[in-house]
Amino acid sequence: MMQIGEVAAMTGLSVRTIRFYERKGVVKPSARDANQHRLYDDETIHWLSLVGYLRQTGMSVKALADYYELIQQGPATLNARIDLLQAQRERVVERMAAQKEQLWQIDHKLAHYQDDLTKYV
């Protein structure tokens, strides 16, 4: 079991972010020590690491809370979890396609400027 500061260092999430996620229903501490400090087990730490990655994909805090609730409900929710992750995957793929187009536009403009350099310099 680890305290929140250790978990923050391990996951790359701030203590403040972990507490925010608790308030929003994305995670619960595994236990509390005699001084009421939050304690997290390996499974919860792994979950928080995944939460960090999913947030980077643009998944909303609400969707993460929904996902966490599905996990808490057990194997009967596997299809719902798959649906949730597939929908997020589709959003990531759409953003990647848009970013690929944006990158092409930048590369095109850079090539144009390189051509101008050879003409005018």
Sorted by sequence, the CB contacts under 8 Å of residue 40 that are 6+ apart come out as 1, 2, 3, 4, 7, 29, 30, 48
pLDDT value, residue 103: 98
pLDDT along the chain (121 residues), means of 10: 96 98 96 94 98 98 98 98 98 98 98 91 73
Residue in the block written with tokens 């990531």: 92
pLDDT value, residue 78: 98
Q: Tell me the residue ranges of DSSP E strands in the chain.
A: 2-3, 31-32, 38-40
Q: Which of 73, 70, 68, 38 is nearest to 55 (CA)?
A: 68
pLDDT value, residue 120: 83
Rounded to whole angstroms, how far apart are CA atoms 86 and 84? 6
The whole-model pTM stands at: 0.85
Give φ, ψ of 84 to 5 degrees: -60, -45
Domain boundaries, the chain: 2-88
pLDDT value, residue 47: 98
- The matching CATH number, chosen from 3.30.700.30, 3.40.50.300, 1.10.1660.10, 3.40.1080.10, for 2-88 is 1.10.1660.10
